[in-house]
Amino acid sequence: MARERVQIKTPEQLRAMRRAGLVVADALDAVRHALRPGVTTADLDAVAERVIRGAGATPSFLGYYDYPATLCVSVNDEVVHGIPGERRLQPGDVVSVDCGAIVDGWHGDSAFTAVLDPADPADAELVAATEDAMWAGIAALAGAPRTSVVGAAVEDAVAGRFGIVEEYVGHGIGSAMHQPPDVPNYRSRARGARVEPGLAVAVEPMLVRGDPANHELADGWTVVTDDGSRAAHFEHTVAVTADGLWVLTARDGGARLGTAPPSDA
Parse the chain into domains and list their residue ranges. Answer: 11-257
The whole-angstrom separation of Cα 250 and Cα 236 is: 7
The predicted pLDDT at position 165 comes to: 98
Report CA torsion sign: 64, 11, 257, 254: negative
Homologous superfamily of domain range 11-257: Creatinase/methionine aminopeptidase superfamily (3.90.230.10)
> What are the per-10-residue average pLDDT scores of the chain (265 residues)?
78 98 98 98 98 98 98 98 98 98 98 97 98 98 97 98 98 98 94 96 98 98 98 98 96 86 64
Going across the sheet that includes 223-225, the strands are 78-80, 223-225, 214-216
User: Does the global pTM surpass 0.85?
Assistant: yes
- The residue type at 230: R
